[in-house]
Amino acid sequence: MTVLKIVLWPDPRLAETCAPIAEITPDIKTLAADMLETMYAAPGRGLAAPQVGVMQRMFVMDTGWKEGKSDPLVCINPMLQEVSEDRVDNDEGCLSIPGVQARISRPAQVRMVWTGLNGARYVQSFDGFAATCVQHELDHLDGVVTFDHLAAEDRTALIAEYYGR
C-alpha cells in the first residue's frame, strides 16, 4: 500500500463533481487500500477520492480507529436515501484544509446506500459522528468543502486563518 499525496484547498479539483465508478477493477481495489493507508497516516477518519486527485465517487472512513475500535468502510457510488429532520452542530476538520475547524450544522442521522469492494450493495443508517463523517465525505464527491457551508463572514475568517497558519 502507498500513502498518497492529499490535495489541499483551494485546488480546483476539490470543487468538481466526481464521476460514478462503472466497474470495480483491481485498480479501484488498490486505490481503496491506498486511500485507507493515507487516511490513517494523515491521521484522519475519512478520505474521499478527490482528496487524492481521483475524480471518482468513492470514499473511505473509519470513525472508531482512534479509540481502538477500527471498522474501515469503503463506499463506492454512495448516495443518501434518507436524512433526519433533527440537526446537530459539530466542529469539522478536513484533511484538505489542515489546521482549520469549521462549525457545521448537518442532519443528525442519515441512511446511505453504496457498493462495496466485493460488488455487493449495502444500506446502513448512521448517526452521531459517523453521520457527520458520511455527509462530509459525500460533500467532497459533489465538489463541496466545509467552507461552502459557512456564512460569508465565518467563511472569510476561517480562510484567513487557513492562510495564516
- Res 165 pLDDT > 80: no
Alpha-carbon distance of 142 to 121, in angstroms, equals 21
Q: What is the pLDDT of residues 55-102, one digit of tens each?
A: 999 999 999 999 999 999 999 999 999 999 999 999 999 999 999 999
| Average per-residue pLDDT for the chain | 97
Q: What share of the chain is helix, strand, coil (3-state, %, to 5)?
A: 35, 30, 35
Share of the chain above pLDDT 70, in %: 100
Residues 6+ apart with CB under 8 A from 72: 36, 60, 61, 62, 65
Q: Which of 95, 113, 114 is nearest to 35 (CA)?
A: 95
Q: Is 161 a catalytic residue?
A: no
- What does the domain layout of the chain look like in residue ranges? 12-164
12-164 has which CATH code?
3.90.45.10
Tell me the per-residue pLDDT of 121-164, one tens digit each, with 9 for 90 and over: 999 999 999 999 999 999 999 999 999 999 999 999 999 999 98
pTM, 2 dp = 0.96
Choice among 82, 137, 153, 161 that is catalytic: 137
In percent, the amount of the chain with pLDDT more than 90 equals: 98
Q: Supply the pLDDT for residue 41.
A: 98
